[in-house]
């Protein structure tokens, strides 16, 4: 394991940041966190981030150099390979590859969820709600054990989906319940993830209020 001091460069609402934060917390790694205003990006941040996005992971190495990683799954896999703590991928190569495929699916699922949540017109809202519901139906057949995606052990797939499901815990039950209706495995999984200590700690205590404010600022239908 490299001798390093880790800093997670973050935004309070970013679900991709939450992936990295959950992995750091699961590994029991001490780290600092710096939030960036993405509407007014500082020069130091733009110098570090080729994409202008979060998360970034900055490592102060033992030889005095700083190394910076970008892209959430690159960061998560680096942490898996270099840090102690519970392993988040299975040892079996096929199972590991299958989980990575569901992680890719998770990014598409997040895109549908985000567009539904932020929709400002009925047509977009209905289309993206249906697309997200379709993704959940596919996940229902993939989740074959409890409480987590692959059974008793919390893994990398769980770290990816927890930030998606978190949004729906904030919504009015009248909006949330029809989306998850008839999906008992996904519902049980979502409940287990919401109770996980690392998932809870991956965001600040005012996360829900911040997210509601975000919806209002973007004139989302769900803000009403």
How far apart are the C-alpha atoms of 84 and 64, rounded to whole Å? 22
How far apart are the C-alpha atoms of 43 and 69, rounded to whole Å? 17
Catalytic pick from 13, 14, 136, 139? Answer: 14
Instruction: Return the biggest CA–CA distance within the chain.
Output: 56
CB 193 within 8 A of CB 161: yes
Sorted by sequence, the CB contacts under 8 Å of residue 97 that are 6+ apart come out as none
Strand pairing category for 4-10 and 31-35:
parallel
14 is catalytic: yes
Catalytic residues: 14
């Amino acid at each position: 394991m490299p001798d390093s001091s880790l800093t997670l460069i973050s935004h309070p609402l970013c679900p991709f940041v939450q992936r990295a934060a959950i992995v750091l917390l699961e590994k029991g790694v001490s780290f600092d966190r710096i939030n960036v205003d993405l509407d007014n990006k500082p020069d130091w941040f733009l110098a570090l981030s080729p994409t202008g996005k979060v998360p970034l992971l900055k490592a102060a190495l033992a030889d005095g150099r700083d190394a910076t990683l970008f892209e959430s799954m690159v960061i998560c896999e680096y942490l898996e390979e270099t840090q102690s703590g519970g392993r988040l991928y299975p040892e079996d190569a096929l199972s590991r590859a299958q989980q990575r495929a569901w992680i890719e699916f998770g990014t598409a699922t997040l895109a549908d969820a985000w567009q539904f949540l932020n929709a400002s017109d009925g047509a977009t809202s209905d289309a993206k709600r249906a697309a997200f519901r379709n993704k959940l139906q596919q996940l229902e057949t993939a989740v074959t054990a409890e409480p987590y995606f692959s059974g008793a052990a919390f893994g990398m797939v769980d770290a990816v989906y927890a930030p998606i499901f978190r949004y729906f815990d904030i919504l009015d039950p009248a909006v949330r319940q029809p989306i998850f209706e008839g999906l008992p495995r996904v519902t049980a999984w979502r409940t287990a993830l919401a109770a996980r200590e690392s998932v809870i700690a991956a965001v600040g205590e005012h996360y829900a209020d911040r997210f509601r404010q975000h919806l209002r600022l973007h004139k989302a239908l769900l803000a009403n």
